[in-house]
């Protein structure tokens, strides 16, 4: 069964190729796109089954397709690597992709770029699966860039509006900044260890470097740069909110469930390097904690439904980074999985709402939808609770409690990080219920235009189920990952609180957020608007609303200088120097031409003068 692994990325890729080249009717396009992902999903489930029942030797399976290139000691293969970590990512990616594709067949039905959309989406899935399954970092990089490309293409999918194009370009460029750091990390790794095969690297690195060695730290930081870009973490998070310009299924698939967690995957995949570089790992934790708080505050102030969700995604990925940073590896992967379910669901629900309300994005112009879009409401509510972490029931609560516990107890954990994570829970709960209350409760502002059909509702229901049930597999999940990603616990000092206490605190904080949201939004809306009107509040609101003014800063720090340099360089300064040479020649020509006066006596005089000089030279030199 395992040898079918190559089909998992290959089928979507082939389908993308067909969709890009051949012009097909809509029905066929939809079938082809969904069926290819379904095939991929089924194969990956079969592989999972066989992997669980008859684990291959070493609990890992490598499939070499062909030797990519072989140049003087550098010989990466096109090869896939399956172990519990990549298996989890593969299954989640394939499955969520399948659901979202199904959803898209209906969501995008009116669009004239139907075939193009699915071509891009399939290409994305293929790239993402390649990324996850790659056995060497070069192939991983290929997938990495591939998903970035698809992200760019899909954000700017509605290309007629230049704003979308700009958002796509921003996303591509910002993530590519991180990718450059990633690439340099690859150069450094290869230079030091002579290979890019991930497993070889993980085996050789601890032998070559001691803990905390400079090279290890450098490599870890460089890879972190790539991860930060792709996962929209501080300081490269600014592209993700703008990326919401793309169609909603794209936001659900790429900018919530899968691509933005590629950074998490990368760090988890190379966790050995981070173990060798504690300072880099600590940086991961700090970045995660800072991002989750910053994005949480920003989410509180947004008007656009999708932007709320975007900041929420940034914040949740921040949780995963926090988990990675403290050494709670499986918690990060677990949170990736639950987050994929509930955040995809939230976006799908948002898509239904937005389409129902004539492309209305402003949550203040929504309201009272709970009985008019019942399925959407209930699934959205479940996903929201999962996101906010309704204790004991939802998957999100399980994964988040696990991360909280890790922040307190894992190797790099500390009370400070734990508190940060706890504040994050409050923020999450606040903005989630603010959003839910504003969208589904209160007064009706906009009439409904369109009710969702089965193709859009079934994925929601499935994901809603998973958003709850997904949490209960925590124990087997941890067990499954045990070998690849062991939980690292703190050895030295005692942990000041127990796991139950941590979870209880999180539950209480969740409730506090819920109540506060209810109070400010439903009970006393005037209070919240008064808060915003207050000058200090207004300033803070503006600050948070603009994502801590990071865009403003980058615009002045990078974009404008670059454009400015490009603009002044437009005429090619160097060419100017050649023009100068030409002018000089021209000047010389003019000077010489003036000697050709046509005066006979002048010529004679010049000849005489020349003779004199010549004789003088012969005589006296």
Partner 1 sequence: MSGPMEAAFYVAAAVAVVSTLLAISRLVAVHALLYLIVSFLSVAVVFYTMGAPLVATLEVIIYAGAILVLFLFVVMMLNLGTRDRDQERQWFSGAAWLGPAILSAILLAEVIYLIVSGATTGGLSATVGPKEVALALYGPYMIGVELASMLLLGAVVGATHLSKQEARP
Partner 2 sequence: MILLWLIVVLIIGGILAWAVARAIPLLSRWISVVAILLDLALALYLAVQHLNAGPWLAQADWDWIPQFGIHFHLAMDGLSLLLVILTLFIGLLAVFVSWREITTAIGFYHFNILCILAGILGVFLSLDLFLFYFSWELMLVPMYFLILLWGREHRARAAIKFFLFTQISGLLMLIAILALYIAHYRVTGIYTFEYAELLGTPLSPLASMCIMLGFFAAFAVKLPVFPFHTWLPDACAEASTGTNMILAGLLATTAGYGMIRFLFPLFPNATRTFAPIAMILAVIGILYGAFLALSQTNLMRLLAYASISHLGFVLLGIFASNALSVQGAVMTMIAHGISTGALFLIAGLLEARTGSRELDSMSGLWDTVPRLSGVGLFFALASLGLPGMGDFIGEFLVLLGTFRGHLIFAIVAACGVLAAMFYALRFVQRAFHGPNLRQLHLPDLAMREGFVLGVMIVALLWLGFYPQPVFHTFAHAANHLPALWR
Partner 3 sequence: MNAVPMSHGLILGGILFAIGLAGLLMRRNLLLILVSIEVMLNGAGVAFVAAGSRWAQPDGQIMFLFILAAAAAEVSVALALLVRYYRMRGTLDADTARGLGE
- Conformation bin of residue 450: beta by default, left when phi > 0, alpha when psi is -120 to 50: beta
Taking the C-alpha atoms of residue 499 and residue 493, their distance in angstroms, rounded to an integer, is 16
User: Strand locations in 91-241, DSSP E?
Assistant: none
134: DSSP letter: B
CB of 612 to partner 3, least distance (A): 10
Residue of 1, 25, 70, 602 interacting with partner 2 (CB under 8 A): 70
Distance from C-alpha of 248 to C-alpha of 350, rounded to nearest angstrom? 8
Least distance to partner 3, CB of residue 594, Å: 14
The listed partner (partner 3, partner 1, partner 2, none) that binds 598, CB under 5 to 8 Å by sort, is partner 3
163 binds partner 1 (CB under 8 A): no
Smallest distance, Å, CB 578 to partner 3? 36
Q: Which of 81, 107, 172, 480 binds partner 2 (CB under 8 A)?
A: 172
**Site residues (CB under 8 A) for partner 2, limited to 578-607:** 578
CB of 616 to partner 1, least distance (A): 7
Distances (CA, A) of 78 to 64, 81, 143, 196: 6, 10, 12, 12
Contact flags string 589-618 toward partner 3, x per CB under 8 A:
--------xxxxx--xx--x----------
Binding site partner of 612, from partner 1, partner 3, partner 2, none, Cβ cut-off 5-8 A by kind: partner 1
CB 427 within 8 A of CB 513: yes
Count of residues interacting with partner 2 (CB under 8 A): 51
> What is the Cα–Cα distance from 107 to 118, expressed in whole angstroms?
12
- Interface with partner 1 includes 617 (CB under 8 A)? no
Q: Considering the complex, what minimum distance in angstroms separates the CB of residue 132 from partner 2? A: 16
DSSP reduced 3-state for 426: helix
Nearest partner of 144 among 26, 39, 42, 270, judged by Cα: 270
Q: Is residue 114 close enough to count as binding partner 2 by CB under 8 A?
A: no
In the complex with partner 1, the residue whose CB is nearer, 530 or 608, is: 608
H/E segment holding residue 32: helix 26-53
Nearer to partner 1, 392 or 615 (CB): 615
User: How far is residue 543's CA from residue 417's CA, in Å, rounded to a whole number?
Assistant: 24
How many other CB atoms sit within 10 Å of the CB of residue 489? 13
CB atoms within 10 A of CB 310: 29
Among 215, 436, 611, 621, binds partner 1 (CB under 8 A): 611
| 211 vs 608 by CB, closer to partner 1 | 608
Residue 597 beta carbon to partner 1: minimum distance, rounded to whole angstroms? 15
In the bound state with partner 1, the residue whose beta carbon lies nearer, of 519 and 614, is 614
Cβ 211 vs Cβ 278: under 8 Å: yes
> According to the binding rule CB under 8 A, does residue 447 interact with partner 3?
no
**Which residue lies nearer to partner 1 by CB, 491 or 600?**
600
CA distance 348 to 251: 9
Rule CB under 8 A: say whether 142 interacts with partner 2. yes
CB of residue 530 vs partner 2: minimum separation in angstroms?
A: 42
Q: Which residues contact 451 (CB under 8 A, 6 or more apart)?
A: 356, 373
User: Quick one: 1 or 608, whose CB is closer to partner 3?
Assistant: 608
Scanning 138-146, 288-296, 321-329, 337-345 for contacts with partner 2 by CB under 8 A, the matching segment is 138-146
With 0-12 / 13-18 / 19 or more C-beta atoms within 10 angstroms meaning exposed / middle / buried, residue 490 is middle
Contacted by 20, from partner 2, partner 3, partner 1, none: CB < 5 to 8 Å by type: partner 2
Provide the β-strand partners of residue 66: 78
Q: How far is the CB of 566 from partner 3 (least distance, A)?
A: 53
- Rg (C-alpha) for the chain, rounded Å, is 30
- Read off the DSSP letter of residue 367: -
For partner 1, the closer CB: 584 or 605: 605
Applying CB under 8 A, among 161, 444, 482, 555 the residue interacting with partner 2 is 161
| Exposure letters 107-134 (e unless 16+ CB within 10 A, then b) | bbeeeeebbbbbbbbbbbbbbbbbbbbb
Tokens coding 452? 């969702």
Contacts to partner 1 from residues 547-606, by CB under 8 A: 605
- Residue 583 CB neighbour total at 10 angstroms: 10
* Cα(397)–Cα(78) distance, integer angstroms: 39
- Where along the sequence are the contacts to partner 3 (CB under 8 A)? 597-601, 604-605, 608
- Where along the sequence are the contacts to partner 2 (CB under 8 A)? 20, 66-74, 78, 116, 138, 141-142, 145-146, 149, 152, 156, 159-162, 165-166, 169, 172-173, 176-177, 180, 183-184, 186-188, 190-191, 562-563, 565-567, 569-570, 572, 574-575, 577-578
């Amino acid at each position: 069964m395992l040898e079918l692994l190559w089909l998992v990325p290959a089928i979507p890729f082939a389908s993308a190729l067909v969709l890009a080249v051949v012009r097909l009717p809509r029905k066929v396009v939809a079938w082809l796109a969904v069926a290819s992902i379904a095939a991929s999903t089924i194969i990956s489930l079969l592989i999972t089954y066989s992997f669980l029942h008859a684990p291959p030797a070493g609990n890992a399976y490598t499939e070499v397709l062909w030797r990519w290139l072989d140049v003087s000691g550098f010989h990466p293969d096109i090869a896939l690597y399956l172990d519990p970590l990549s298996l989890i990512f593969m299954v989640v990616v394939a499955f969520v992709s399948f659901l979202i594709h199904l959803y898209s067949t209906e969501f995008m039905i009116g669009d004239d770029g139907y075939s193009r959309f699915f071509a891009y989406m399939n290409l994305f899935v293929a790239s993402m699966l390649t990324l996850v399954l790659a056995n060497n970092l070069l192939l991983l990089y290929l997938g990495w860039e591939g998903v970035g490309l698809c992200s760019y293409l899909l954000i700017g999918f509605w290309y007629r509006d230049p704003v979308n194009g700009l958002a796509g370009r921003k996303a591509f460029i910002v993530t590519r900044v991180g990718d450059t750091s990633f690439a340099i990390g690859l150069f450094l790794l290869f230079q030091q260890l002579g290979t890019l095969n991930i497993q070889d690297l993980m085996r050789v690195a601890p032998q070559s470097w001691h803990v905390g060695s400079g090279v290890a730290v450098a490599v870890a930081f460089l890879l972190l740069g790539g991860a930060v870009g792709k996962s929209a973490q501080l300081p490269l998070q600014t592209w993700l909110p703008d990326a919401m310009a793309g169609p909603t299924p794209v936001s659900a698939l790429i900018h919530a469930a899968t691509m933005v967690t590629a950074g998490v995957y990368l760090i988890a995949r190379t966790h050995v390097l981070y173990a060798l570089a504690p300072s880099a790992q600590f940086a991961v934790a700090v970045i995660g904690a800072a991002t989750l708080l910053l994005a949480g505050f920003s989410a509180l102030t947004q008007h656009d439904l999708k932007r709320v969700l975007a900041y929420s995604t940034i914040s949740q990925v921040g949780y995963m980074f926090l988990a990675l940073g403290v050494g709670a590896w499986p918690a990060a992967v677990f949170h990736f999985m639950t987050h994929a379910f509930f955040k995809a669901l939230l976006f799908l629900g948002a898509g239904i709402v937005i389409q129902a309300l004539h492309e209305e994005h402003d949550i203040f112009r929504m309201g009272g939808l709970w009985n008019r879009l019942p399925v959407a409401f209930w699934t959205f509510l479940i996903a929201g609770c999962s996101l906010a972490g309704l204790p004991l029931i939802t998957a999100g609560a399980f994964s988040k409690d696990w991360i909280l516990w890790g922040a307190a107890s894992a190797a790099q954990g500390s009370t400070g990080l734990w508190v940060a994570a706890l504040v994050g829970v409050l923020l999450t709960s606040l903005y989630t219920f603010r959003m839910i209350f504003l969208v589904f409760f209160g007064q009706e502002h906009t009439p409904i235009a369109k009710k969702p059909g089965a193709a859009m509702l079934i994925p929601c229901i499935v994901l809603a189920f998973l958003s709850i049930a997904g949490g209960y597999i925590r124990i087997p999940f941890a067990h499954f990952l045990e070998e690849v990603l062991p939980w690292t616990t703190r050895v030295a000092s005692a942990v000041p609180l127990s796991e139950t206490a941590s979870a209880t605190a999180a539950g209480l904080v969740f409730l506090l957020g819920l109540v506060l949201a209810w109070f400010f939004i439903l009970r006393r809306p005037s209070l919240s608007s008064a808060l915003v009107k207050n000058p200090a509040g207004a300033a803070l609101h503006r600050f948070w609303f603009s994502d801590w003014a990071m865009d403003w800063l980058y615009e002045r720090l990078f974009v404008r200088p670059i454009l400015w340099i490009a603009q002044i360089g437009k005429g090619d300064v160097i060419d100017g120097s050649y023009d100068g040479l030409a002018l000089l020649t021209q000047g010389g020509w003019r000077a010489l031409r003036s000697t050709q006066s046509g005066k006979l006596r002048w010529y004679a005089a010049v000849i005489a003068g020349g003779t004199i000089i010549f004789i003088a030279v012969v005589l006296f030199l």
